[in-house]
Amino acid sequence: MQRPAEPALSDVARQVRARGFAHVPSLGVTTAELREAQDLLDGLFSRFDQLPEDKAVDLGVGGTREAPVVPEVLDCSVFEPRLRQTAVWRAAHRVARDVLGPDVHATYDHAIYKPPGLAGVTSWHQDAAFDLQQDHGLAVWVPFQDTAVQDGCMRYVPRSHLDGLVPHALRTGPAGKEVFYLDVADESAEDVPCSLGGATVHDFYTFHGAGSNLGSSVRRAWVLDFSTSPLPRRVARKVKRAAFSLIGR
């Protein structure tokens, strides 16, 4: 019996499988729909000091709860459920289904607002290193402004996902925070600028980071994670998160 033909992969799915990441020039959402999602996220960041300390994290040094330097909010859609009703959320889900297949589900989301003129970089890492309960997964990185190299766009190491999970090193930052990271030669990396309305996507095993924001405006980005983990793993992950608060550590 002839084997049925496999469904054709989209260009984005082919790139993710071959290179570990892809640029999505357009999510198919309007400016107004992007603004709706940003307004909801802005609302979260405006009450940063009122959120639980393990969910509202300052990635910078020298800030306060009222005035963080580089604020990050974890589990955004838990604290603002209306985010799950936005066109941006639905568009990200469509991209994840395209790459991973119909059984994909959302697992986690977070947002980082990196101010202009900040020299800090996002360390090289693999998302899989932070959550071993995950199976195959995809992260969708959505900017709320044009994001060029000087603004701190995403950076990836092509084909780095093919070797699976690799050991991460650990260092202590200036504020005593522990950071997992990978040593990556700069010449092996590829910058992926992204315009407003687009996104970048990457496999959980892809080496990635982001440059400094040396532009003139805040670099706002929302990251949505999707996975194909079966139900037992999903339950185990939920229990682990609730018991140990491992998100973002």
11-244: CATH superfamily? q2cbj1_9rhob like domain (2.60.120.620)
Torsion of CA 172, 139, 65, 239, to 10 degrees: -90
Three-state DSSP class for 141?
Answer: strand
Q: Where are the domains of the chain?
A: 11-244
In DSSP terms, which residues pair with 207 in a beta bridge? none
Counting residues of the chain whose pLDDT is more than 70, the rounded percentage is 85
Q: Whole-angstrom Cα distance, residue 182 to residue 109?
A: 22
Cα-Cα-Cα-Cα dihedral sign, residues 131, 132, 134, 140: positive
Q: Is the pLDDT of residue 249 over 60?
A: no
> What per-residue confidence (pLDDT) applies to 130?
84
Whether residue 125 contacts residue 182, with contact meaning beta carbons closer than 8 Å, is answered with yes
pTM: 0.90
